[in-house]
Amino acid sequence: MVRTISDGIVISPIKNGTVIDHITPGEGLTVIRILGIEDGTNVTFTVASNVVSSRGGRKDMVKIENRELLKDEVDKIALVAPYASISIIRDFKVSVKKPVGVPKEIVGVIKCPNPNCITNTKEPVKSKFVAHPRGFRCQYCDSIISREMDIGDYI
């Protein structure tokens, strides 16, 4: 059985897939949304919310069956859950651990908070944000999404 039992939650073992642990509490569903695997897709996933963490405090946890996250998907997760840990599970065992890192450039993920930005029109253009000392800056209109703002609201 997996060690999450010791965290006091029930999240059943998977054979193959990805486990995202230590997600900032409340951001578990945002992670699902970022990965684009909401209802309607044929991916099986489980979200455990606000569970007690062995590191102290609380956390969210996401388990996705039969899918291994790619590097750029991992990077996107860092936006809302910079302390997450990502484990690729193969044959019930943790096979690879992927560190999350805050990406330098994020394309097509964040919706610009500026309603008058060209990326919020019907133009065929993807939003592009670059890392900035206090958050991320829109490459088109220079608007900043600061860390104090809830980035999840713009994804």
Partner 1 sequence: MTHEQKNILSVRDMEREEIDKLLCSAAAFDRGNFTGHELDGKLLAVLFFEPSTRTRMSFSSAMMRLGGKILNLGSVEATSITKGETLSDTIRVISGYADAIVLRHPKEGAARLASEVATVPVINGGDGAGQHPSQTLLDLYTIRESMRIENIDVGMQGDLRYGRTVHSLAFALSKYNNVRLHAIAPEGLDFPSHIKEDLHDAGVELIIHDNIEDALPELDVLYVTRLQRERFPDPVAFANYASTYRITPALLECAKPNMIVLHPLPRVDEIDPAVDALPCAKYFEQAHNGVPVRMAMLNEVMN
Ligand X SMILES: Nc1ncnc2c1ncn2[C@@H]1O[C@H](COP(=O)(O)OP(=O)(O)O)[C@@H](O)[C@H]1O
Positions that interact with Zn ion (CB under 5 A): 112, 114, 117, 138, 140-141, 143
Helix (H, G, I), strand (E, B) or coil at 31: helix
Would you count residue 47 as binding ligand X (CB under 6 A)?
A: no
- By CB under 6 A, which span of 12-20, 29-37, 107-115, 116-124 interacts with ligand X? 12-20
Would you count residue 124 as binding partner 1 (CB under 8 A)?
A: yes
Q: Going residue by residue from 21 to 60, which x/- string records binding to partner 1, judged by CB under 8 A?
A: ----------------------------------------
Candidates 26, 67, 78, 87: give the one binding ligand X (CB under 6 A).
87
Nearer to partner 1, 47 or 107 (CB): 107
Candidates 24, 27, 63, 81: give the one binding ligand X (CB under 6 A).
63
Radius of gyration of the chain (CA): 16
Name the minimum Å distance from CB 71 to ligand X: 18
The CA-based dihedral angle spanning residues 153, 150, 42, 49, taken in that order and rounded to the nearest 10 degrees:
-130
Separation CA 10–CA 100 (nearest Å): 25
DSSP state of 26: T
DSSP state of 6: G
Name the minimum Å distance from CB 143 to Zn ion: 5
Is 89:16 a contact under the CB 8 Å cutoff?
yes
Would you count residue 127 as binding ligand X (CB under 6 A)?
A: no
Candidates 94, 96, 118, 125: give the one binding ligand X (CB under 6 A).
94
Nearer to partner 1, 3 or 122 (CB): 122
DSSP state of 101: -
| Burial 63-84, CB ≥16 within 10 A → b, else e | bbeebbbeeebbbbbbbbbeeb
